[in-house]
Structure 1
Amino acid sequence: MPLFDLPLDELTAYRSPRPEPADFDEFWAATLAETSAHPLDVVVETHELALTAVEASHVWFAGYGGQPVHGLFLRPSPAVVAGPLPVVVQFLGYGDGTGSPLDWLGLPAAGFATLVMDTRGQGARARRGGATGDHDGSRSPHVEGFLTKGVLDRADYYYRRVFADAVRAVECAAQLDRVDAARLAVAGTSQGGGIALAAAALADGVRAAVVNVPFLCHYSRAVDVTASEPYAELLRFLRTHRARAEDALATLDYFDGVNFAGRASAPALFSVALMDDVCPPSTVYAAHNAYAGPTRLEIYPYNEHEGGGIPQDELTIAWLRDHLAVPTARAAN
């Protein structure tokens, strides 16, 4: 994929021209109040996979509507790193699920605890399976799309439930054993990056955020410049429901990462790939340039949606170590 979006000098200064809803904060305050009316109901079950240097558990907590959300919780064993531990709440890419603890060993090996949250309804298409249904739709994961699910009603929109779940995941992680709630970060790539932005803005206690090639940002620009999935789902909807196109975009304004970015103040590590036609660079820059806290932006000029890959993962560990003061792991006996 060649360069297709704005030139880099224009991207550097690019901002979304679309105004945010006047009642954005009231909408989210009401959503979170409705969610917090339900007890968190955290349940932890040891994972049957025996690992020497890492402890792994299944975690269930009550998300939006009190509905159960599954996650995987991993932490280095006390013999490797003594607690309390900094913790990273990780959110998943589109269609992905939590899978196995073997998929998430990087951060625990570096001295972090991590809670990986299932995205409700997802995890039936990608390599890793999920275990959380969307109880306001179906009670088991299903193949996407999700982007237009309830898009004509902000109260019924799919990502209202997901973002509320993300806030509850942060609350859950802060309560888990051997975790230092004062050193908590959120992180994600693609859809996970968009969810991390929302969590950084909405949840209390977030001290750092990692936002890699984020999806769910500047929707109106995305449908103008890309026909790639998943934004193609929205494009097809707008083509079909011509008379309701502006209604759909008005709903999405309540879920736009650009608007969450302006309300997040924790230090953030962003990444963008300039040949990314899945999450176009201008949509990433719109969120980055709106971010209210200090940022670092890693630019990958020749990459598509894979972004920085393993080098970005390595940078993330070093960046999180600096911002969360992670102790050095000891060799297991």
Structure 2
Amino acid sequence: MPFFDLPAAELRGFRPEVAEPDDFDAFWAETLAESRAVAQPPRLTRLDSPLALVEVYDVEFSGYAGDPVKGWFLVPADASGPLPAVVEYNGYGGGRGLPHERLQWAASGYAHFFMDTRGQGSAWGTGGGTPDPHGTGPSFPGFMTRGIHDPAEYYYRRVFTDAVLAVDAVRSLPAADETRVAVTGGSQGGGIALAAAGLVDGLVGAMPDVPFLCCFERSVGLTDRDPYQEIVRYLSIHRDAAPTVFRTLSYFDGVNFAKRASAPALVSVALMDPVCPPSTVYAAANHHAVGAEVVEYAFNEHEGGQGVHWERQAAWLAEVLSPWSATH
């Protein structure tokens, strides 16, 4: 894939106006309050595992509307005292997989919570375990258009609520320090991390990696790749639905969550990325309320920096946490 978006110099200053509904904050405050009101304490089951240096817990916590959501919680076996925690969200179509597939954070001394994505887990990887029990109206195959005619029914209302309540669940666990929680994820997981960071107070940082779900109107018109193309194909059939569809999506745009972030961010972008166009990633980063450091991978597509970028994340998070460590 050649360079197809704005020149790099223009990307770094790209700060477009993005539609934002007047009741954005009220919508999310009401959504989260309703689900928190019926949430139950998370249930952890320790698993026998060949991972001798990491304790593995199968987790079930209350997500949107009290729905049970699965996750993995991994902590170093020799941990003592509450640990800084990383909550991670997954890419589009994948599930939580198997615990040994996600060892970097626990092996680095963190408590690590990996959230399953409701209804997903059958497109790649090693599966998921969380159904989405809520039906929707007509939609194109995939998740992008489920309930897209009404923000209250839209699929990502449930996913983003799960993401926030995952942070709540982690903060309630004795092994995790509730004052030192960061969120991260790649692609869809990066978009979810942006949402969580805009909806949760008191995080120490967010690390969205090549984030999806940003600057919807530009993304839908700029790339011919899925998942954004699910929206294009839906609108090619529902020809008069565009105003309604884009109004719904404005409640879920990563740019609008970035405007509300209360913790710093490390954002990665790949300048040849045809799935999450670089201008849409920069749109969120450049609107970030606290400040986002952007790491560019000029000659990569949607894979971004992969293991190289994880090392950048680990160094960045350690630096973010260093003032806290110096005072304790």
**1:265/1:291 contact within 8 Å kept:** no
Corresponding residue of 1:56? 56
**2:86/2:184 contact within 8 Å kept:** yes
Distance in 1 between the 2:291 and 2:279 partners?
19
Partner letter of residue 246 of structure 1?
A: P
Distance in 1 between the 2:27 and 2:266 partners?
27
User: Are 1:154 and 2:151 matched, yes or no?
Assistant: yes
**2:18/2:255 contact within 8 Å kept:** no
SS of match in other structure, 1:96 = coil
User: Are 1:237 and 2:234 matched, yes or no?
Assistant: yes
Give runs of aligned pairs for residues 31-110 of structure 1, distance below 5 A: 31-78=31-78, 81-110=79-108
**1:56/1:72 contact within 8 Å kept:** yes
User: Are 1:264 and 2:261 matched, yes or no?
Assistant: yes
- Give the TM-score taking structure 2 as reference length: 0.95
Partner letter of residue 210 of structure 1?
A: M
SS of match in other structure, 1:114 = strand
SS of match in other structure, 1:126 = coil
Corresponding residue of 1:174? 171
Distance in 2 between the 1:208 and 1:189 partners?
15
The structure-2 alpha-carbon separation of the partners of 1:148 and 1:295, relative to structure 1 and needing over 3 Å to count, comes to same
User: Are 1:278 and 2:237 matched, yes or no?
Assistant: no
Distance in 1 between the 2:93 and 2:323 partners?
31
SS of match in other structure, 2:304 = coil
Corresponding residue of 1:118? 116
Q: What displacement does 1:19 show? A: 2.7
Corresponding residue of 2:314? 317
Corresponding residue of 2:129? 131
Distance in 2 between the 1:232 and 1:46 partners?
41
Q: What displacement does 1:125 show? A: 1.4
SS of match in other structure, 2:261 = coil
Distance in 1 between the 2:56 and 2:161 partners?
25
Corresponding residue of 2:300? 303
What is the aligned-residue RMSD (CA, Å)? 1.7
SS of match in other structure, 1:176 = coil
Distance in 2 between the 1:270 and 1:238 partners?
30
Distance in 2 between the 1:191 and 1:272 partners?
13
Q: Which moved more, 1:293-302 or 1:317-326?
A: 317-326
Q: What displacement does 1:25 show? A: 0.5
Distance in 2 between the 1:202 and 1:128 partners?
30
**2:211/2:281 contact within 8 Å kept:** yes
* Structure 1: runs of 5+ lacking an equivalent: 329-333
User: Are 1:2 and 2:7 matched, yes or no?
Assistant: no
Q: What displacement does 1:30 show? A: 0.9
Q: Percent identity?
A: 52
Q: What displacement does 1:137 show? A: 3.2
Q: What displacement does 1:327 show? A: 11
User: Are 1:13 and 2:31 matched, yes or no?
Assistant: no
Q: What displacement does 1:8 show? A: 1.1
Distance in 2 between the 1:268 and 1:17 partners?
21
Corresponding residue of 1:294? 291
Corresponding residue of 2:244? 247
**1:40/1:172 contact within 8 Å kept:** no
Kindly tell me the number of residue pairs found equivalent between the two proteins. Answer: 322
**1:213/1:273 contact within 8 Å kept:** yes
Q: What displacement does 1:32 show? A: 0.8
Q: What displacement does 1:23 show? A: 0.9
* Structure 2: runs of 5+ lacking an equivalent: none
Corresponding residue of 2:206? 209
Distance in 1 between the 2:15 and 2:225 partners?
22
Distance in 1 between the 2:296 and 2:122 partners?
31
Corresponding residue of 2:27? 27
What's the CA shift string for 1:68-102, capped at 9, x where partnerless?
Answer: 00000001112xx4332100000000011111111
SS of match in other structure, 1:277 = coil
SS of match in other structure, 1:297 = strand
SS of match in other structure, 1:209 = strand
Q: What displacement does 1:40 show? A: 2.8
**1:14/1:289 contact within 8 Å kept:** yes
What's the CA shift string for 1:114-151, capped at 9, x where partnerless?
Answer: 1000110010111121100001139xxxx961001000
What's the CA shift string for 1:188-221, capped at 9, x where partnerless?
Answer: 1100000001100112331110011000001100
Partner letter of residue 92 of structure 1?
A: N
Corresponding residue of 1:331? none
- Give the TM-score taking structure 1 as reference length: 0.93
Q: What displacement does 1:253 show? A: 0.2
Q: What displacement does 1:294 show? A: 2.4
